[in-house]
Amino acid sequence: MAGEKLSPEKLRFFEDLIRKELQESMLYIENINREQSVGSRESSGDLSSYAYHQADQGSDTNYMEHTVMMMESEREKIRLLNDAMRRIQDGNFGICEMCGELIPDARLQIIPYATLCIDCKEKMETKKRKQRR
Ligand SMILES: [Zn+2]
């Protein structure tokens, strides 16, 4: 049914969920930042570790690339979570942006920042696939 909204209890539940996920993502980024600053301090100055670092450079680069990718997806997640938080405040959280139907709870519990119901998400993805060709 279009025009429906989530009950205040559910909104509160998802607000908590989003807040928790936000904290986790921010902690994750913080940890990586800390690790990286420790790493750069270690490699500067200490010459004895230089040979080791050079031999290991290949995997180091992969690790760095992987970390950067993880950081980016985590930042994107934070952005989406903040958007979801705004929608909770605006009172239109959990409503599909395309058809206006309620997004099922089960979906929101896995992806609290989902803005589309499964049907519309699938339609959107088919459309995207077609555009790419
Ligand atoms: Zn929809």
Q: Ligand 1 mean position to 16 CA, how many Å? A: 24
Q: Ligand 1 mean position to 119 CA, how many Å? A: 6
Q: Ligand 1 mean position to 78 CA, how many Å? A: 23
- Report if residue 1 sits inside a domain: no
Q: Ligand 1 mean position to 64 CA, how many Å? A: 38
Joined tokens for residue 52? 């080791």
Q: Is the pTM of this model over 0.85?
A: no
Q: Ligand 1 mean position to 130 CA, how many Å? A: 19
- Report if residue 3 sits inside a domain: no
List the domain range (segments joined by +) for residue 60.
8-132
Of 3, 16, 7, 29, nearest to 84 by C-alpha is 16
- Report if residue 113 sits inside a domain: yes
CATH number of the domain to which 33 belongs: 1.20.120.910
Q: How many domains does the chain have?
A: 1
Higher pLDDT residue, 40 or 11? Answer: 11
63-94, pLDDT tens digit by residue? Answer: 888 888 999 999 999 999 999 999 999 989 99
